[in-house]
């Protein structure tokens, strides 16, 4: 229950920030880069070890690759919305329906492995929460700060936000009904999604391959945050799988 509340709050917080600070594109980019460092660390430290520790599951690597491919397909729908591409093209060519389907599927799949999490604030859940905030930030900025105010009313903004906010909790709910033996496969798919998103954000925002110390610093900060959490998480009690 707490997970569900946190998931919904992370989206509301992000949307709220996006609505009021949406014009500050640099802030959105920096949040994304920070979350990418965090996400890739969660991915390598928490998700993959958990995926590969399950002896009875085979060919999990294929599912990680499926996750990467799935995310590529979803990005064709969302036009890379997850990494802050909401201004490179005329916003009208992001069909809200396609955008919603893409974001919903993405968040829904991320929610499924939460069903098997034993503790309240697992690193995996934190990974999703940290990742939700920049995406919701962009969503809020996109929905509330578009220039064509006359069209704004035709976008059911609140419905879109509600759908996105409920996607991970719904995935989590559904995850309870799956055979627990399938969980490593879902986790592997999500691992692929995380890997793709975080690496695209990290590599893409590097224009002309110049060294951008600010960006490197943000990635390192994200990595350190995730590592601190990882250490804190593995010490107080013995790690379970």
The model's pLDDT over 145-179, given as tens digits with 9 standing for 90+, comes to: 665 554 555 457 888 888 899 999 999 999 988 88
pTM over 0.75: yes
Q: Are 86 and 141 in contact (CB under 8 A)?
A: yes
The model's pLDDT over 117-128, given as tens digits with 9 standing for 90+, comes to: 877 778 888 888
pLDDT on residue 235:
62
Give dist(CA 136, CA 18) in Å, integer.
7
Residue 76 pLDDT more than 80?
yes
Q: Are 17 and 143 in contact (CB under 8 A)?
A: no
DSSP code of residue 88: S
Structure tokens at 43: 């991915």
- For the chain, what are the domain ranges? 2-234
pLDDT on residue 239:
46
Range with lowest mean pLDDT among 23-37, 90-104, 165-179, 192-206 = 90-104
Structure tokens at 18: 């996006």
The closest alpha carbon to 106, from 130, 82, 83, belongs to 82
Residue 203 pLDDT more than 70?
yes
Q: What percent of the chain has a predicted confidence (pLDDT) above 90?
A: 26
Residue 140 pLDDT more than 50?
yes
Q: For the chain, what is the mean pLDDT?
A: 82
């Amino acid at each position: 229950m707490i997970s569900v509340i946190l998931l919904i709050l992370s989206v509301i917080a992000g949307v709220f920030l996006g609505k009021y600070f949406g014009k500050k594109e640099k802030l959105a980019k920096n949040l994304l880069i920070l979350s990418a460092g965090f996400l890739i660390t969660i991915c390598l430290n928490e998700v993959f070890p958990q995926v590969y520790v399950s002896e009875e599951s085979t060919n999990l690597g294929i599912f990680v690759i499926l996750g990467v491919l799935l995310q590529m397909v979803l990005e064709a729908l969302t036009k890379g919305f997850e990494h802050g591409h909401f201004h490179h093209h005329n916003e009208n060519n992001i069909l809200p329906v396609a955008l919603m389907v893409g974001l919903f599927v993405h968040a829904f799949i991320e929610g499924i492995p939460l069903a098997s999490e034993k503790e309240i604030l697992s690193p995996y859940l934190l990974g999703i929460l940290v990742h939700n905030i920049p995406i919701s930030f962009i969503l809020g900025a996109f929905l509330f700060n578009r220039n064509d105010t006359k069209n704004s009313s035709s976008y059911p903004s609140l419905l879109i936000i509600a759908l996105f906010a409920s996607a991970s909790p719904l995935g989590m709910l559904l995850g309870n009904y799956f055979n627990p033996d399938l969980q490593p496969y879902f986790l592997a798919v999500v691992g692929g999604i995380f890997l793709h998103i975080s690496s695209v954000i990290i590599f893409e925002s590097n224009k002309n391959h110049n060294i951008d110390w600010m960006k490197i610093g943000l990635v390192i900060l994200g990595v350190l945050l995730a590592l601190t959490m990882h250490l804190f998480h593995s010490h107080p009690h013995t790690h379970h799988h």
